[in-house]
Amino acid sequence: MAPKDTALPLAMVSLMLHFSWNWIGLAILDNDQGTQFLSHLRREMEKNTVCFAFVSMIPVNMHVYMSRAEVYYTQIMTSSTNIVIIYGDTNSTLALSFRMWESLDIKKIWVTTSQWDVTTSKRDLTLDTYYGTLAFAQHHSEISGFKKFLQTLNPLKYSDEYLARLGWMNFNCEVSASKCETLKNCSSNASLQWLMTETFDMAFSDEGYDIYNAVYTVAHAAHEMLLQQVDDGEEHYGNCLKLHSILRKTHFTNPIGEKVNMNQRENLQAEYDIFQIWNFPNGFGFKVKIGEYSPYFPVGQQLNIYEDVIEWSTGNRQMPPSVCSADCGPGFRKFLKEGIAACCFDCIPCPENEVSNESNVDKCVRCPEDQYANREQDQCIHKAVIFLNYEDPLGLALALMALWFSAFTVLILGVFVKHHDTPIVKANNRNLSYILLFSLMFCFLCPLLFIGQPNSATCVLQQITFGFVFTVAVSTVLAKTVTVLLAFIVTAPGRLRYFLVSGAPKYIIAICIIIQIILCTIWLGVSPPSIDTDAHSVHGQIIIVCNKGSVTAFYCVLGYHGSLALGSFIVAFLARNLPGTFNEAKLLTFSMMLFCSVWVTFLPVYHSTKGKAMVVVEVFSILASSAGLLGCIFIPKCYIILFKPERNSLEKIRKKTSS
């Protein structure tokens, strides 16, 4: 008569998930029924990551059980779980264990079925934070007239064994100590009219409801036999076979509106009411309905718990926890140990730049490239976009230096133009000096392309402008050096004299520029500079820089500058001891030495920095090398022009030269 119990494991697991329990103990009988229940329960628990703290398979044989009873007691006492499922027959060794555990007042929440009559205990319990027992009972509606019958029941009229097993009958009666329990010494006017609250369990038990349906089933089958006008002349055995055949096909709706179907293939799954056992002093107890479970509702809505009833009955809406490991909060992830249940784990922080914003995650999530993990590692924060800009104190300082040096170069150019007829300006190749000053002015302005947010145009202009203006500057220095050398070593007419007089050294500048243009054209054609983002060098920042494109091309341009500077240095070094008050060879030698020192130092420093520091190093090297050329070549001349005009005369030059 009883419905199938196939939905019971899923109902129990749903309850565990609702209260966030994942560490469960189980005590069942070691028989086919217990094994089948364990199989179904284990399958549902594994689907939802709920684990067994222990599984006690209680032997059916009493002698075997007694030899292991201490083991089962120790197992349940030492377990860290607060939840224990009890499933099996009530007249078995499992019931003996359960009564012993109850008598020892083990603080666990027992999850059982309604057949376990746990309200008959004689212990003096008070309602406290101990939640006692949660029982699953097959759902059925209230039978008309049954509550009124119980409320007006006089135990003197029904002092039988069944009523003796109903715990709430003990309120007005005593139970005999004989093997067959019966009620005795009941009050003559005893009744249960005071039990008026609908919340209390005043309905049939599962066994009583099954008997109720069985009576109606037999009645329907007998009525069907009469309708078929069975021949009364048949033997009684034949009538029983006929009745059995009809019973197997009987289906009807009982008086309380619920369907009964005796066809095992069409037998519906049971729906469950969930009760909480209230234990009061003197062993008096009630069952309070705190929820229900229906397998016919959509997934996620099958379990319905009355939270307000739980709070009303216990004073606290929170159930005690039952977990193997504490939750891993945000910023941590679970670390499962090999060979240990999935519910037992350690909590370890998320790896660098990974986050978790939920509890008990298996893996942390890596932040996107444009975001980084905060200190708690529970959320990703957008990285600040960083580049060398004018609001940065360092960027502003470099920009002001570039503008100051370029203005200073214009000032020197103005001095040279104003005093262009003086001997010292003429003696140092006036035209080449103008070209060099113009190129140095653009060299000082070149760093402004490196400051500010990069884009495709500025990335290309940075390197092309740098390569072009420095080629002009260094090649002009080379031309001046060659001119100085030829001026002192050529004393007679000839090819060298013609080369010097015709201004052929100026062609050195054009040739050097053409070579540099070819190198830059190849660079732009193969792999031009472009925008690059560096999201890893500095934590929490995205640095926008210009990628050199072809690194080989960049070093070819830089190496070309170096070769020109080295050539100028060698030529100037050879002419350093030539006579003359204004021998420019010494100044050119020192300027090329300073220029080469700056760029040789640049290489290791550039490679040891990242992000916008690389831009700063390159800008500083441009300014330092340009300032070296300007200071070494032109400052001494300006000093004589402005502060020592008496030395800026042909007589002084000739006199000093001849001496």
Tell me the mean pLDDT in the region 151-163.
57
Check residue 122 and give its pLDDT: 46
Question: What does the block give as tokens for 334?
Answer: 């679970």
Run of H or E including 16: helix 8-18
Is pLDDT at 332 greater than 90 in this prediction?
yes
Please check whether residues 350 and 314 belong to one and the same domain. no
Please check whether residues 378 and 408 belong to one and the same domain. no
Task: Name the residue range of residue 376's domain.
Answer: 345-382
Would you call 273 helix, strand, or coil by DSSP?
strand
Please check whether residues 403 and 296 belong to one and the same domain. no
Residue 277 resides in a domain? yes
Q: Where residue 84 sits, what CATH number does that domain have?
A: 3.40.50.2300
Residue 284 resides in a domain? yes
Residue 609 resides in a domain? yes
Torsion sign over Cα 636, 638, 641, 643: negative
Instruction: Please say whether the beta carbons of 561 and 583 come within 8 A.
Output: no
Tell me the mean pLDDT in the region 461-476.
89
Is pLDDT at 425 greater than 50 in this prediction?
yes
Please check whether residues 425 and 403 belong to one and the same domain. yes
Please check whether residues 299 and 376 belong to one and the same domain. no
Residue 243 resides in a domain? no
Residue 28 resides in a domain? yes
Tell me the pLDDT band of 657, cut-offs 50, 70 and 90. Answer: very low
Please check whether residues 429 and 546 belong to one and the same domain. yes
Check residue 21 and give its pLDDT: 92
Please check whether residues 430 and 546 belong to one and the same domain. yes
Tell me which of 382, 408, 429 is where a domain ends: 382
Is pLDDT at 360 greater than 70 in this prediction?
yes
- What's the residue count for the chain? 659
Check residue 250 and give its pLDDT: 82
- With a threshold of 0.85, does the pTM exceed it? no
Please check whether residues 33 and 54 belong to one and the same domain. yes
Tell me the mean pLDDT in the region 641-647.
81
Is pLDDT at 1 greater than 50 in this prediction?
yes
Check residue 348 and give its pLDDT: 93
Please check whether residues 281 and 430 belong to one and the same domain. no
Is pLDDT at 356 greater than 90 in this prediction?
yes
Residue 25 resides in a domain? yes
Sequence-separated (6 or more) residues with CB below 8 Å from residue 620: 398
Residue 233 resides in a domain? no
Please check whether residues 457 and 589 belong to one and the same domain. yes
Run of H or E including 437: helix 430-445
Question: When comparing pLDDT for 550 and 656, which is higher?
Answer: 550
Domain count, the chain: 3
Torsion sign over Cα 612, 618, 623, 628: positive
Q: What are phi and psi of 252, to 5 degrees?
A: -160, 175
Question: What does the block give as tokens for 248?
Answer: 């197997």
Rounded CA separation 43/50 (Å): 10
Please check whether residues 629 and 518 belong to one and the same domain. yes
Q: What is the pLDDT of residues 494-536, one digit of tens each?
A: 455 555 545 666 788 888 889 989 998 999 888 888 888 877 7
Check residue 644 and give its pLDDT: 81
Question: When comparing pLDDT for 310 and 60, which is higher?
Answer: 60
Check residue 589 and give its pLDDT: 80
Instruction: Please say whether the beta carbons of 195 and 171 come within 8 A.
Output: no
Please check whether residues 421 and 565 belong to one and the same domain. yes
Q: Where residue 527 sits, what CATH number does that domain have?
A: 1.20.1070.10
Question: When comparing pLDDT for 200 and 317, which is higher?
Answer: 317
Residue 251 resides in a domain? no
Please give the mean pLDDT across all residues of the chain: 79
